[in-house]
Amino acid sequence: MIHNSIEFIENHLEEELNLDRIAKVAGFSKYHFHRLFQKYVGKSLAEYIRSRRLSSAAQLLLYSEERILDIALLYGFDSQEAFTRAFKGLYALPPAQYRSQIKLLIQEREELTMSEIKGWFITGTSPSKYKASLDMQIYHKGRNSVSLECAETEPPEENEFGTLMQQFDAKNYLGKRMRFAGFIRTEEVSDWCGLWMRIDDKLQNMLGFDNMQYRSIKGTASWNFYACVLDIPAEADCINIGILLSGSGKIWLDDCTFEEVGLDVPVTDSRARTEEFPTEPQNLKFEA
C-alpha cells in the first residue's frame, strides 16, 4: 500500500496532490493513511511531497534552461519567493546560486569513484564486476545518490552479485529494534536487488539477517521506499548494512536512515519461520 502510494506520487509530482486524493488511491481513510505513511516513511505526506518536488526542481535547475519562476510554478509554488524559501531550506542555497555553483561542481567532477564514498566498500561474489559511484544527475533527495551497476559487457554468471556495504559497532543499539531503510530506483535488473542487514556476534555467528530476497526488486522501477528491520540482541557485536545487486542492471540508493522503531513494527528477518508447526509431537506410536 505504501509502495503504491509512493509510486503514484512519483508519477504525479506536477499535479495537485493532497491527502484526500492519495488516501483514496491507497484505499484507506485519510487519517489512517496519514498515520501509516508517517510511521513507515518517517515523515508526513506533505513533507515527503515537498521534498520530492524540490528534488525534481533541483534537477531541472541543473539540467535544463527553464526559468526559475517556471520551475516554481510547475511544482505547485505560488511564487518564486515561496519556492526560493523552500529550496534554500533544503539545499542551503537559493535556486539561482545553486544552479550556478553546482553546475561548476558537476563539470569538475562528472563521476565520483568508490574511494570518495566515505564509509562504504564493495564486496560480493564478484566485486570486480561491479562499480559504485555517486550520481549527481539522478537522486531522490539532496544533491546526489549512490549507484551500483554491473560494469561488465558480458552478463554475470548465475548467482553472481555485488554489494555496497558498511560495518559498524553494535554497542549503541543493543536491545533495540532497528530499521535500515532507503529509497531505491532500478534499471533493467536481470535477477534481483534489495537492501540487506546482518547482525553478528564476536565469533561472527549470525544473529539476524534480511536481504529482501523474498520481496526483492526486479526489472525497472521508479523511486520507492524499502526497509529491513531486525532486533539487536545483547550479544551482538557488529552490524552490517548495504544494498545488493544480483546479475546485471543498475540500481540507485538514496536518503537512507538507520533508526530505532517500536515493537509494533514487524521484523523482516529472513530466517523467521514461515510455516506453523504442531504444538506437540504427532503419532509417536504410528497407530493413526
Angle among Cα 203, 205, 210 to the nearest 5 degrees reads 145
Q: Would you say 126 and 156 are in contact if contact means Cβ atoms under 8 Å apart?
A: yes
pLDDT of residue 281: 74
pLDDT of residue 194: 96
Band of the pLDDT at 115, cuts 50, 70, 90? Answer: very low
117 vs 135, residue with greater confidence: 135
Q: Which residues pair with 238 in a beta bridge?
A: 169, 200
Within 92-186, residue ranges assigned H as helices are 95-108
3-state secondary structure of 206: strand
C-alpha cell of residue 13: 509530482
C-alpha cell of residue 120: 562504504
pLDDT of residue 122: 87
Band of the pLDDT at 125, cuts 50, 70, 90? Answer: confident
pLDDT per position as a tens digit, 203-240 = 878 899 999 988 999 999 999 999 999 999 999 999 99
Amino acid type, 38: Q
Closest-CA residue to 189 (of 158, 150, 241)? 150
Band of the pLDDT at 156, cuts 50, 70, 90? Answer: confident
Whether 108 has a pLDDT exceeding 50, the answer reads: no
Closest-CA residue to 211 (of 256, 180, 175, 247)? 180
Whether 106 has a pLDDT exceeding 80, the answer reads: no
Q: How far apart are CA 206 and CA 238, in angstroms?
A: 10
The per-residue pLDDT of the chain, averaged, comes to 88
Whether 103 has a pLDDT exceeding 80, the answer reads: no
**Beta-sheet pairing, 250-260 with 145-150:** antiparallel
Q: Would you say 101 and 94 are in contact if contact means Cβ atoms under 8 Å apart?
A: no
CA distances from 145 to 81, 138, 219, 264 (A): 28, 7, 19, 30
